[in-house]
Structure 1
Amino acid sequence: MKATTTKILSFSSIILSITLLFSNIFHHIYDNDSANNLFCISEACDKYSENVLKLMNNSVDPCDNFYQYACGTMIRDQNDSQIHFFTKDLQNGVNDQVRYILENGWDQRKKETNRKIVKSKSLAVEWAIRIYQQCLHRPKPDDVLQTFDKLWNSLPISPELSWPLESNNNSINMDWLDFYAHFSIVFGYEPLFKVGFSLGNDPTITIFFGSKNGTHDYHILYNLVMKNNTGKMSKEKYEKIVNEVIDFEDKITNFKKGKRTGQIFLKVFESASGLNWKSFFEITYNVGKSLKNGKNSTNFSGDELIWVGRVDGLVNSFKVIQNTPEHIVFNYFWLKAITYLLNEFQPKNQETCPNIFLSDQFPLSFAIARLYVDYSLKPGSKLKAIHMVNQLKQSAIESMKHNTLFDNEMRERIIEKLRNIIDIISLPEMFIVDEHLDEFYGLHGSISHLIRNNYCESYAKLLSYYKYLMFRLMKNDTIIEDIIYFSPLSLDAFYSHSTNRIVIKPTFLRFPLFDAELPFYVNYAKIGSIIGHEITHCLKKDDIKIDNGGEKWGRNKTLRNFEDSAQCFIEQYRNYSEHSYGLLGNISTLIEDIADNGGLSLAYMTYQDELKRILNLGKQPQLLPRLVDKKMTIEQIFFLSLAQNQCRSFTRNELKFLIQQDPHSPGESRVNLCLQNLDKFAESFNCSIGSPMNPKKRCFLW
């Protein structure tokens, strides 16, 4: 027993030591912006101070309308035709940096990665850069047609056939659905229906209609196609074939209005459609696997669940296909492939490549996000953000301990939920390590077999490989939990109720929302209030009624207290003049309004705790010289920084649309009403009792 106790104590000591070590590391990060230099004179601090002053309107009394005081100059000088919102500038800044990295991340002379820009040695990162370089140097139309011939002839049909087919007398000897599986792999294109993946709680394959496009191009393709076609078909015959295809496409498109959608077993879908879907998916999976040099094939049993959009419409369109002469169906694929390559792989403008590679749907989006994080985030950014999240969660726990709205049982349940919140800051850890990033994409050794001679072929290989990858990921629950709903380069932060997770994207860890060089009170006001907002989303009315097991969480009194508090917010926001354009009778912003108020409270609490810790160490927080010159206290700077998150000007019509469509209140309400509910704000600006920003009645939940 004694030996066992000793081991336990030793293990506990190790854990305690590690905890203290990390605590000291995190505190050291923030200590660096305190006593060592009283004034922050970095470029980031100077730029931030300039931005604060540029937005302010000192002619407005902060106790009358703090939003106008904080943002008034920008609003006054704003051109209505060029509505400004900092998030748009933020997203544009991210896009510009990613574009720069992709364009300059390859050394054309040495034909290798440019190590001055690219730190990662990941194969996935190299793959993204090399395909982007191919995108910048797209082929001419004649070259595209040569590529088309090469790809088309690689399909498992007779190379002796002359295209387009004139009649049904040609022997194709292949089921159209199996052909479509090969077609979508070779061209990376799905005109008829698309196969996707839903990586939710129950990962499933999804099938839904493709998009109608390109029919108007069929006729004008004649001269271009015939120049490369050895069959030399007359224009009249070609026109006849094109008209048959257009008529066929119109028929199958008419069924896109089908309504029935949902999950269905693969074998049931086979029976309903009369098609061999097991064969289709086996081709799709196993051809993709061959790109990974895998040896073992995979069979589908029919017991797999798939999600089908507009089942009745799809089934009816399949019946049309089966009743259409075979040569028309295959001519449809032939024409679709040509128009797709000519439309998609010709540079339309200089934004074509960035738009493709910056899309959340781009298969290598995590590799591109890794490039962005390595190049753009300042040292210590992720550690500071993690520290902030942990401190904000602790503030939420402390706040809930003293919350009198809830009974003891309810408070304990909420506190437990807060303790168990999982946070994903910047990129999930698996994408920060080269080996793990490559493992995610299933890459080992070399990617030479995935890079073709031109962008058309390389992009098609990428899409078909990615489809195989999604099949593989559906069997890995751990990976799915980390990437579900995660679009790495979108400007977003959110809380997921289903997984009790907070996600802060890497795009948020940059100026003006966050900067590792800015004083802690600015960062807590800016991104801290956003993180606090997401933390408060973990509490919702349904939680008071039931938990995941269906048991009662709170008693009737707790529910009444919650509803009374919510009603206070409803009346406060409804009566605010900015909302008179359409919010009366509408409580659609309530959840976000409560989160805004909670986010402010938590950010303020945490900033105060950090300030006390620094002062207790005999140190002082760093000051911003240009703002100190304006006689601003750090507390006033905190409130200004928080308010300027929402700086934006609106026309009356835009405001009305925003109120009707956005679950968040307009910026002025988000700033003024939240600050009215925090008594410390009125103290900071010496607002008299009864003034607009220091009302006698306040609402609170956190």
Structure 2
Amino acid sequence: MGDRPYVKNEKKGDIKSILPYLPKVDQDLPNSNYIIVNNDIADMPSTNLINSYDNIKEHVNNILKYIDPTIDPCKDFYKYTCGNWIRYHQIPNDHDSYNLFDKLNDQLRDSIYDILTTEINSVKSDDSIVKTTELARILFNSCIDMNTINDRKSQPLLEFLKKLNGFPLLDKNWNENEFNLEEILIQLSLYDMENIFHFAVDTDLENTKKFIIYILNPSLGLDNEGDYLESDNNLHLNAYRTYIIDILKILNANEYEVENVADEIIDLEIKLANVTDIKELTLIELYKSETIGDLMKNYPKFNWKYYLNKSFNSNFNDDTKIGFFTGPKLKLIYDIVINTDKRIMANYLNWIAIDRLVKYLDDEFKVPIDNLSKAISGSESDTQNRGLSCATTTNIRLGTAVSAIYIRKYFDENAKAEVFKIGQEIKNIFRENLYDSEWLDDETRHLAEIKVNKTGLDLGFPNFLLNETALNKYYKDLELQNGKYFENILNIRKFTVARDFRKLDKNYVAEDEWSVNPTVVNAYFENPKNRIIMPASFLQPPIYNKNFPKSMNYGAIGAFIGHELTHGFDSDGRSFDKDGNIGNWWTNKSLEFFMEKEQCFVDQYDKFLLYNHSLNGHLTRRENIADNGGLQLSFKVYRKWLNSMNEEEKQNEILPGLEFLAPEQLFFLSFAQSWCDFIRPEAVETKLADVHPPGAFRVLGTLQNFDEFAKAFQCPLNSPMNPSKKCKLW
């Protein structure tokens, strides 16, 4: 799950952290104690409702169909729980894997499509949110209008490239004496295209009451920096080279020059990748700040003051603070940029724009895009239904507008109260755990308790989405046009940057806005705000349903809340205090114990294999710590609740048809079935380069460390799911 502040990722269009990570296994038939609930429980009513259904057997069968009853859960609980997931779910062509979150995203996409094709057309001109709905309608309709998009071909892109002061590959009259690096980067940044010195405005990590400009790490054409660091025969890099050549040929580049230009682009990105692969470092190791004056002095061949002043239409002085997440590598990045030939750099910066925008063009570009996607992950773009694809794009680009309509139709406001109550209970248990953690000294424990007391939990959506005046004000400066899909995307990008710029105004008052949209199926911990965010589209079955037994809700939504809370005290979160300010508030003694316990998780997860490729336990350590902490916190809350019930009340925890399944077992099943997954072999390297481990290891690693799981399923000591050595932090 996510755990950082976010901005838009322009290549994928998803939510990405401005911080640098960002933020996706046999024997005889077991006895009845091991009957497992499957992953697909969205239609399963609760005990007090199920008797009103005539098709009880159908629902129970639906629960059971994903389990593999030939697997002993004490040997492999993930394979037992999710062993038949693949039999009932094909990986869609446009996916590199398929798991519960993909399934929920598909359902969300269908709901948004319904909104954009039916609900939105019923909005009357006198409705208070007509401006918001009209923008979403225009973008969606311009996206599905493939006739117009195909008629316009690449012309919109070529017009945009004129803003970049020349493209040597396409312009025979290009003059290197007219090349101005700062001017080109200004244009790319104003249209929110990640580049070599891309910037964003976000909370000052050293004073979270203020906002500052951040210079971000270079964004490369391939998401996995490791692809650039392998041998010359790397399949992904070769596919990327072919993609560059094919795209540039469609733009009528000289075929005798295009291969050389592609090689120069890749050579430059290889150099950058060698100094920007920083995912394994902690934020406190990466974060630094300098003044503009310092930048001008230390890196004098790039005019930082001009770049920032013109970009922001401002007059920053030498004392203006700038943040970085490059750690000690800014000088290395700067040296690469400054020492690169001007022609190569000009071609590369034009390529950055092309790569970010080509998917908004006509069908001629689809083949090279698909070929690259197939080579990297085995997936391709979704051509079966342009409408559904455009629904996704509209949600990504106008998420606030779409969310305002979505929550009015689909979100159950009553869900917030119960989930918030679960969150408070989990915070209470975490506080108790602090006093059970003998490795913490009193000073660190006291500060940790203050932090958890202040940790917020925001659920559903920000309140301003129900305020029509505020909502229309949000979009007042955005204009879109029918039949101008490419330009609409550009206008939204520029609008997004302009809204971020407002945060630097000394009179700016932080609005009730989130860094993610309610129509995102994920949950997040925001370190600078010391809060958990759980969007509306996340609070749905099987993650949460008010009619589910408590065991299922605590096993799913409870574990997720605990996961996010634990992020506030993981390898990164421990460096942020109660107010979200970065800094070390730990004593040396407690920090030494923390590092020792963290290493236990690293060693454990290093041993997991996916298609004979090892998991990187150090890269995934934050998520592994959060998974373990979250599950154990939620189980303690659930056990406390269960022990307070009388026998009659406990019967409500029994599902008809699964009466032999104990409540504690159902809790662990609910947790495990949240992570059922199937990954294409071609996507293995990409998945293992993610800070989030594959679903199988989230189940296996977490449950192997928990004695209560072994007790619930009577797993013998030293069986695969009950090893004698266990890792525990929180």
TM-score category, normalised to shorter length: 0.5 to 0.7
Moved more, 541-550 or 244-253: 244-253
Q: Where do residues 451-470 of structure 1 align in structure 2 (5 Å cutoff)?
A: 451=481, 454-470=484-500
1:343-368 CA distance string (max 9 Å, x none): 83546656556556635995422222
Structure 1 unpaired stretches of 5+: 1-32, 156-163, 169-173, 221-238, 287-297
Q: Quote the residue 1:400 is aligned against.
A: 434
User: Contact 1:272/1:315 (CA < 8 Å) preserved in 2?
Assistant: no
Which of 471, 482, 490 in structure 2 is aligned with 1:437? 471
> Aligned equivalents of 1:552 and 1:342: distance in 2?
46
Percent identity of equivalent pairs: 23
> Aligned equivalents of 2:58 and 2:418: distance in 1?
20
> Aligned equivalents of 2:485 and 2:588: distance in 1?
63
1:53-74 CA distance string (max 9 Å, x none): 1122344444444334323343
Flag the 1:183–1:51 CA change in 2: closer, same or farther, 3 A: same
User: Contact 1:39/1:622 (CA < 8 Å) preserved in 2?
Assistant: no
Flag the 1:560–1:429 CA change in 2: closer, same or farther, 3 A: same
Q: Quote the residue 1:538 is aligned against.
A: 568
User: Contact 2:601/2:624 (CA < 8 Å) preserved in 1?
Assistant: yes
Q: Quote the residue 1:204 is aligned against.
A: 213
> Aligned equivalents of 2:610 and 2:57: distance in 1?
36
Q: Quote the residue 1:292 is aligned against.
A: none
Which of 457, 463, 466 in structure 2 is aligned with 1:423? 457
Flag the 1:700–1:104 CA change in 2: closer, same or farther, 3 A: same
User: Contact 1:52/1:641 (CA < 8 Å) preserved in 2?
Assistant: no
> Aligned equivalents of 1:661 and 1:175: distance in 2?
36
Which structure would you say has the larger Rg?
1
> Aligned equivalents of 2:213 and 2:692: distance in 1?
32
Flag the 1:371–1:632 CA change in 2: closer, same or farther, 3 A: same
> Aligned equivalents of 2:101 and 2:118: distance in 1?
26
> Aligned equivalents of 2:58 and 2:138: distance in 1?
36
1:195-229 CA distance string (max 9 Å, x none): 75343525327697999896424549xxxxxxxxx
Flag the 1:80–1:203 CA change in 2: closer, same or farther, 3 A: closer
Q: Quote the residue 1:501 is aligned against.
A: 531
Flag the 1:247–1:93 CA change in 2: closer, same or farther, 3 A: same
Q: Quote the residue 1:87 is aligned against.
A: 101
1:77-116 CA distance string (max 9 Å, x none): 8889996422222222222322332233443xx7x5599x
1:283-340 CA distance string (max 9 Å, x none): x778xxxxxxxxxxx7677876678996567668896699x9xxxx9xx99x999999
User: Contact 1:360/1:488 (CA < 8 Å) preserved in 2?
Assistant: no
Q: Quote the residue 1:524 is aligned against.
A: 554
Q: Quote the residue 1:674 is aligned against.
A: 702
One-letter amino acid of the counterpart of residue 637, structure 2: T
User: Contact 2:291/2:319 (CA < 8 Å) preserved in 1?
Assistant: no
Aligned residues: 600
Flag the 1:453–1:380 CA change in 2: closer, same or farther, 3 A: same
One-letter amino acid of the counterpart of residue 473, structure 1: K
> Aligned equivalents of 2:436 and 2:602: distance in 1?
24
One-letter amino acid of the counterpart of residue 104, structure 2: L
The alpha carbon displacement at 1:604 in A equals 0.9
Q: Quote the residue 2:634 is aligned against.
A: 603
> Aligned equivalents of 1:386 and 1:510: distance in 2?
14
Q: Quote the residue 2:380 is aligned against.
A: none
Flag the 1:541–1:166 CA change in 2: closer, same or farther, 3 A: closer
Flag the 1:88–1:564 CA change in 2: closer, same or farther, 3 A: same
Q: Secondary structure at the match of 2:656?
A: helix
Q: Quote the residue 2:111 is aligned against.
A: 97
1:99-153 CA distance string (max 9 Å, x none): 332233443xx7x5599xxx9826334312222123223553797499979x99x
Which of 640, 650, 655 in structure 1 is aligned with 2:669? 640
Q: Secondary structure at the match of 2:83?
A: helix
User: Contact 2:605/2:615 (CA < 8 Å) preserved in 1?
Assistant: no
Q: Secondary structure at the match of 1:135?
A: helix
> Does 1:381 find its partner at 2:444?
no
Flag the 1:180–1:65 CA change in 2: closer, same or farther, 3 A: closer
Q: Quote the residue 1:133 is aligned against.
A: 141
User: Contact 1:544/1:559 (CA < 8 Å) preserved in 2?
Assistant: no
Flag the 1:669–1:354 CA change in 2: closer, same or farther, 3 A: closer
One-letter amino acid of the counterpart of residue 52, structure 1: I
Which of 71, 95, 112 in structure 1 is aligned with 2:82? 71
> Aligned equivalents of 1:80 and 1:434: distance in 2?
40
> Aligned equivalents of 1:114 and 1:34: distance in 2?
42
User: Contact 1:611/1:621 (CA < 8 Å) preserved in 2?
Assistant: no
One-letter amino acid of the counterpart of residue 684, structure 1: A
> Aligned equivalents of 1:185 and 1:544: distance in 2?
32
The alpha carbon displacement at 1:76 in A equals 7.8
> Aligned equivalents of 1:585 and 1:253: distance in 2?
26
> Aligned equivalents of 2:355 and 2:678: distance in 1?
43
Q: Where do residues 300-449 of structure 1 align in structure 2 (5 Å cutoff)?
A: 344-346=360-362, 349=383, 355=389, 358=392, 362-442=396-476
One-letter amino acid of the counterpart of residue 644, structure 1: Q
User: Contact 2:139/2:480 (CA < 8 Å) preserved in 1?
Assistant: no
The alpha carbon displacement at 1:504 in A equals 2.5
Q: Secondary structure at the match of 2:443?
A: helix
One-letter amino acid of the counterpart of residue 646, structure 1: W
Q: Secondary structure at the match of 1:391?
A: helix
User: Contact 1:45/1:518 (CA < 8 Å) preserved in 2?
Assistant: no
User: Contact 1:106/1:130 (CA < 8 Å) preserved in 2?
Assistant: no
Q: Secondary structure at the match of 1:515?
A: coil
The alpha carbon displacement at 1:528 in A equals 1.3
User: Contact 1:425/1:505 (CA < 8 Å) preserved in 2?
Assistant: yes
Q: Quote the residue 2:501 is aligned against.
A: 471
The alpha carbon displacement at 1:597 in A equals 2.4
> Aligned equivalents of 1:664 and 1:677: distance in 2?
18
The alpha carbon displacement at 1:540 in A equals 3.9
> Aligned equivalents of 1:590 and 1:167: distance in 2?
52
> Aligned equivalents of 2:678 and 2:352: distance in 1?
46
Q: Secondary structure at the match of 2:440?
A: coil
> Aligned equivalents of 1:343 and 1:76: distance in 2?
33
User: Contact 1:181/1:280 (CA < 8 Å) preserved in 2?
Assistant: no
User: Contact 1:66/1:693 (CA < 8 Å) preserved in 2?
Assistant: yes
Q: Quote the residue 2:41 is aligned against.
A: none
> Aligned equivalents of 1:686 and 1:192: distance in 2?
54
1:29-57 CA distance string (max 9 Å, x none): xxxx999x475757999987544311223
The alpha carbon displacement at 1:415 in A equals 1.6
Q: Where do residues 107-256 of structure 1 align in structure 2 (5 Å cutoff)?
A: 107=121, 112=123, 121=129, 123-138=131-146, 140=148, 144=152, 197-201=200-204, 203-204=212-213, 215-219=248-252
> Aligned equivalents of 1:584 and 1:342: distance in 2?
33
User: Contact 1:395/1:605 (CA < 8 Å) preserved in 2?
Assistant: yes
1:402-447 CA distance string (max 9 Å, x none): 333333333322221211112233333334433333344446xxx7
User: Contact 1:124/1:441 (CA < 8 Å) preserved in 2?
Assistant: yes
> Aligned equivalents of 1:276 and 1:535: distance in 2?
38
Once superposed, what is the RMSD of the aligned Cα atoms? 5.9
The alpha carbon displacement at 1:499 in A equals 3.5
Flag the 1:340–1:693 CA change in 2: closer, same or farther, 3 A: closer
User: Contact 1:266/1:303 (CA < 8 Å) preserved in 2?
Assistant: yes
> Aligned equivalents of 1:209 and 1:686: distance in 2?
49
Q: Quote the residue 1:236 is aligned against.
A: none
